[in-house]
Every structure is written in structure tokens, then in C-alpha cells.
Amino acid sequence: MHKSMRKRALQLFVNCTLLCVILLSMPARSAIPFSSSRLAQFAQLPQNPQVRAALDWFKPHLSWINDEQARLTEIPAPSFAEAQRAEAVKVLLAAVGLEVHLDKVGNVIGELRGTNDKEIVLIAAHLDTVFPTGTDVKVRREKDRLYAPGISDNGTGLASLVAIARAMHEARLKPQRTILFVADVGEEGEGNLRGMRGLVETYREKLKAVIVLDGSGIDHVTTKALASRRMEAVITGPGGHSWSDFGIPNPISALVRSSVRFLNTRVPANPRTTFNLGQIEGGTSVNSIPHEASLKVDVRSESEDELVRLESALRECIAAGVRDEMENARDRSKGKLEWKVETLGSRPGGELSSDSPLLAALRAADDFTGNSSRIERASTDANIPLSLGIDAIALGAGGNGGGAHSLQEWYEPTGREIGLQRALLTVLGVSGIAAEKGK
């Protein structure tokens, strides 16, 4: 960056940070106001030699960060089986002086005690991947690229979490608010954000900001939580022989009738609303009338109302399909069809206020690193705090990645230090830094 630009960026950062401090010290439930000397020190955040040292730590240690990322990625961690990878992250966080423990759902929590331990800033990266046990997760290096399922989502987040903790440790940075460095379980699919739900349940009263590191890139910031529901419809019946029992109600036939109805449900383009019939199962053999059929559906929307509407539409369509099938059955003597629709997962929506101190801290970090990022809506761990009115964002942790959730997933670490600096400054912006002792 050009020197004058850097100076301007610095000034902007200082201004935004000041604003941030003022906002932070406004009377909130449990906020302890910043003293004026601290405020002055906090305003000089990026000029603070320790902050500088932490920012400068990343670049000479990129190969260590990349190697740890590859090593963590090669430890399989499907949702609900994250324990082995959790153990490896625990060792890394403990090695940089954090007080580390595992909570009851399996999250790894490394605590960096602040001078104000009544308030907490949480930085989290999810441990789990969408890849089932048995997937080959060996990392292949080709020129500047690393290839492996999960290398970016969320190898990047995990390696960055550890790198930020280490940079702060090497620079002997002590925060005002306590920072929790967390590698959490159950972010993907049917994990249903259970790790983040557990964290928010435990720390809710003290939680002031949540920063989620998910995947790569520095081009976006997720401040809007995309609400979604995952549902499963199951239809059961008596079952029988395709020839001798012909005419009894058939669960697969009913499910097909129901599905066609549901596919004709209209969804608006604005607010953007989507649905997906993702998995269909059932049947015994080609010459059996099945006794069961099931369907998994994912629905997403920018509007909670649309989700509620689609959820009840699915129930109505299943009920109607079953009714059609029963009406068309020639033989009802062997029993009728039963149906149920269950919610497999529900991710609540929410939005970060545009004048939140957390967003101001992120914008200041963007300015300082010469980055600009767009606001995005997505479904991430940030959904849980956002739905409860707790400030939260999700960020890519730097570098470039692609092919997420596919076996061709890749990661390019070039330039990742910008993403690391951006995340570090955002965390420090909301945690504040403690005055140095012994001076």
C-alpha cells in the first residue's frame, strides 16, 4: 500500500476504533465503561507495538500455518465425529498459553482471560466437514495449491484460529474483554449448529461479539443469517405383494403424489426463497408394495414468514398425497397409510445492525488492510447469536478456495496474511487491549 494511503487508512481505523470504543462504553447491561486513558490507548490500536508485532507475525510464519492446515485437514472430522481433530486443535491452543477445555458437546474452548472477564468475545471456526467416514482426505500439493476435501471449509478457518491465537501469544497481547478461541462441532448439515448453540447457551449473558471464521477469501462479510429448515416426511403402510395385494395403498405412490403437489408450490424470487428435494428413500424390492417411503427437504428463505409458509405447505402436500392415494386404493381392508413430517434442523435467521461496533471494527480492519468487502447473507454458525440479537459476523479467513463440499476442494494460501490481519484487528477492535503492566 502507498504510504499516504496507509496513513489515511490508519487514521480511518483510529476514527472508527474511537467510535467503536464510544459505542462499546455506552451503558449496556453489564458493560464496564472504558477509562479515558484506556480509551486513548485503544484509539491507537494499530500503532501499539504489540498489535504491530502480532500483525507482523503472520507473514514469516505462513509455511507453519499452511502445514498445520494440511495436518488438521488430514484428520477426518465428519459432523458428530470431530473428537480426533478436536484433540489436535486442543494441543495447538494449549501450546500458545490458552487455558483449554472441551465442553459437553465437544467444542474446544481456549480462554485468553481479559482484564474484564465479565464480557466475552468469541472467535470460532467449525471442526466438522460434510465428508463421511472413509473419504480420502489426504492433502495433495500442486504448485501453489492444496487439494483435499475440507481443505478450505474449514481447514482455513481452523488454521487461522490457531494462527491468530499464536500471533497474540507471541506478541504478549492481553485483551480487555476475555477472548474465547473456539473450534466448534456440528456446523454442517444435520449437525444443525449444535456446537454454536451450546456455546451461546453457556456464555449468553457475557457474550458481546462472535466472529466466525468459515472458509477462505476476504471479499465478503456475512452479517445476515439465512434462515432454513430441513424436514423429513415419512409415509408408512401395510406393505404386500405386487400381484396378490395389488390395490392396497402404496407409500411410494403417495409420496410421489405429495411431491408433485409440493413442486407446484410457488416461491417468491424476492424475498429469495428456495426448496430442494434432497433425498428420497423407501421400498423393499421391485415386486413388493413398500411399507415405507421417506423424503428429505431443505427450504431456505430471506423471510421467516416464507419458511413457515413452506413448512406448512409441505405438511399439506403430504397429507393431500396420502389422501389421494387412499381414495384411489381399491383395497383398504389391510390397513391405511400413516404419515408424519419431522423437522431435522432449523437455522434461525437474523441480522447484524448496520451501526454495530463489530461491523465498525471489521470496516476499520478492512480499511487498514486496504481491503473492501461486501455484505452477504448466508447460513453459518453466526445464525445462532444473530437470531438472539448478539452481534456476530462470519468471515472467510484469507487466501483463496473453491469446490467447497466437493471432493475437488482446493485452497491457495497466497496472500492469506491479509485475511489473518483483518480477522485479528476485528477481534481486537471489539475486545480492546489491556494496558501494558510494569511500565
Binding site residues, Zn ion, CB under 5 A: 153-154, 214
d(C-alpha 187, C-alpha 80), whole Å: 10
Ramachandran class of 241: left when φ > 0, alpha when ψ lies in -120 to 50, beta otherwise: beta
Name the residue nearer to Zn ion (CB basis): 114 or 155: 155
> Virtual CA dihedral for 147, 153, 159, 162, nearest 10 degrees?
-170
Cell numbers for 6: 496507509
**Cβ distance 255 to 235 under 8 Å?**
yes
Name the residue nearer to Zn ion (CB basis): 254 or 397: 397
Name the residue nearer to Zn ion (CB basis): 213 or 341: 213
Beta bridge partners of 277: 297
Which residue do the cell numbers 503492566 mark?
437
Min CB(260)–Zn ion separation in Å: 34
> Virtual CA dihedral for 218, 222, 227, 228, nearest 10 degrees?
10
- Cβ neighbors of 303 (< 8 A, separation 6 or more) are 227, 271, 273
Name the residue nearer to Zn ion (CB basis): 188 or 417: 188
Min CB(405)–Zn ion separation in Å: 9
Min CB(215)–Zn ion separation in Å: 5
Name the residue nearer to Zn ion (CB basis): 214 or 367: 214
Min CB(128)–Zn ion separation in Å: 8
d(C-alpha 51, C-alpha 37), whole Å: 17
Min CB(150)–Zn ion separation in Å: 9
Name the residue nearer to Zn ion (CB basis): 128 or 325: 128
Min CB(240)–Zn ion separation in Å: 45
Min CB(214)–Zn ion separation in Å: 4
**Cβ distance 199 to 144 under 8 Å?**
no
Give every strand in the sheet of 140-142, ordered side by side.
140-142, 145-147, 410-412, 400-402
Q: Could you say which DSSP state residue 61 is in?
A: G
**Cβ distance 382 to 438 under 8 Å?**
no
Closest C-alpha to 176, from 108, 243, 120: 120
Radius of gyration, alpha carbons of the chain: 25
Min CB(157)–Zn ion separation in Å: 7
Min CB(221)–Zn ion separation in Å: 15
Name the residue nearer to Zn ion (CB basis): 149 or 290: 149
Name the residue nearer to Zn ion (CB basis): 130 or 254: 130
Min CB(276)–Zn ion separation in Å: 18
Q: What is the per-residue DSSP string for 66-133?
A: HHHHHHHHTS--BTT--HHHHHHHHHHHHTTT-EEEE-TTS-EEEEE--SEEEEEEEEEEE--BSPPT
Min CB(380)–Zn ion separation in Å: 7
Name the residue nearer to Zn ion (CB basis): 158 or 428: 158
HSE-CB at 295 with a 13 A cutoff on CA atoms is 27
Name the residue nearer to Zn ion (CB basis): 214 or 366: 214
Q: What is the per-residue DSSP string for 171-238?
A: TT--BSEEEEEEEES--SGGGTTHHHHHHHHHHTTTEEEEEEE-SS-SSEEEEEEPEEEEEEEEEE--
Name the residue nearer to Zn ion (CB basis): 214 or 391: 214
Q: How many CB atoms lie within 10 A of CB 401?
A: 24
d(C-alpha 124, C-alpha 184), whole Å: 7
